[in-house]
């Protein structure tokens, strides 16, 4: 029964994530004004704002002007709901669960923003670094150690910064954005120095495979910029989860 509770709570957090995704990049308040249709600007009634259910009842259209509602809204809600459920199943009721939920919630928002705008707002990545450092005494992935969190933050940032500098010299253009550098630093604050390196390797592997597929099916060109934030996010989460399950001592710094 409690599993259902976490899934539902995750759905509502997903609904809030949609608000953050569409407001934070434009420096708009995530509190006011109330949620409204971007076309007719009419405030959304609470009964039309129930995650997943309202979308299905309204058949994906605004109840007032009948403008189509992006399928992304329920996808983000479902993704967040399943993430909350998975976090509970893995960590149970614990400090690790709280850390996992906060980390995942941030990374979902960051990933969708990066996909849309090819940028990561500093507010999100820097505040995530702060949360990672503050929560370090309760984070078993880094042995509940503040120093490990700080070293991980610096290591993650320096790793990607070095790659960005070398890549720009070789290719004569920017190959890695500042947002990606701060995001990997944020991941380091949760994972520690060694773990963030493995997380980065996963991100490179996933990014390379998916990028190649997109090029082969002609959705992208080899010269196109592909957002790296979502792959970094997946790498961070996978290592965070794996440390609890498969490799609880091997990768811990």
Q: Are residues 85 and 184 in the same domain?
A: no
Number of domain units in the chain: 2
pLDDT digits (tens, 9 = 90+) for 141-154: 999 999 999 999 99
Residues 47 and 145 in one domain: no
Q: Which domain holds residue 253?
A: 120-253
Report for 31-40, 41-50, 228-237: range of highest mean pLDDT: 228-237
Q: What is the pLDDT of residue 168?
A: 76
Tell me the per-residue pLDDT of 187-218, one tens digit each, with 9 for 90 and over. Answer: 999 999 999 999 999 999 999 899 888 888 87
- Same domain for 142 and 77, yes or no, is no
d(CA 206, CA 227): 12
Question: How many C-beta atoms lie closer than 10 Å to residue 162's C-beta?
Answer: 12
- Write out the two tokens for 157: 């940032």
> What's the whole-model pTM score?
0.92
**Does a structural domain hold residue 112?**
no
Categorize the per-residue pLDDT at 120 as very low, low, confident or very high, splitting at 50, 70 and 90. very high
22-31, 95-104, 133-142, 218-227 — which is least confidently predicted? 218-227
Domain stop point among 93, 111, 144 = 93
């Amino acid at each position: 029964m409690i599993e259902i509770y976490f899934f539902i709570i995750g759905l509502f957090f997903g609904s809030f994530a949609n608000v953050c995704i569409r407001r934070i990049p434009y420096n708009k308040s995530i509190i006011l004004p109330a949620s409204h249709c971007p076309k007719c600007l009419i405030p959304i009634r609470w009964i039309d704002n129930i995650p997943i259910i309202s979308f299905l009842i309204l058949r994906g259209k605004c109840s007032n002007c009948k403008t189509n509602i992006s399928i992304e809204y329920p996808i983000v809600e479902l993704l967040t709901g399943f993430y909350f459920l998975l976090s509970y199943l893995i960590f149970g009721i614990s400090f690790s669960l709280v850390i996992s939920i906060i980390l995942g919630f941030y990374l979902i928002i960051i990933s969708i923003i990066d996909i849309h705008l090819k940028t990561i707002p500093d507010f999100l990545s820097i505040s995530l670094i702060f949360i990672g450092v503050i929560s370090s005494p309760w984070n078993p992935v880094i042995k509940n150690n503040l120093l490990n969190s700080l070293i991980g933050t610096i290591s993650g940032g320096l790793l990607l910064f070095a790659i960005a500098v070398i890549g720009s010299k070789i290719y004569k253009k920017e190959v890695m954005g500042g947002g990606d550098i701060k995001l990997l630093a944020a991941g380091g604050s949760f994972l520690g120095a060694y773990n963030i390196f493995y997380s980065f390797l996963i991100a490179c592997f996933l990014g390379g495979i998916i990028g190649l597929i997109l090029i082969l099916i002609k959705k992208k060109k080899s010269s196109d910029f592909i957002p790296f934030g979502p792959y970094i996010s997946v790498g961070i989460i996978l290592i965070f989860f794996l440390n609890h399950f498969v490799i609880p001592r091997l990768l811990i710094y």
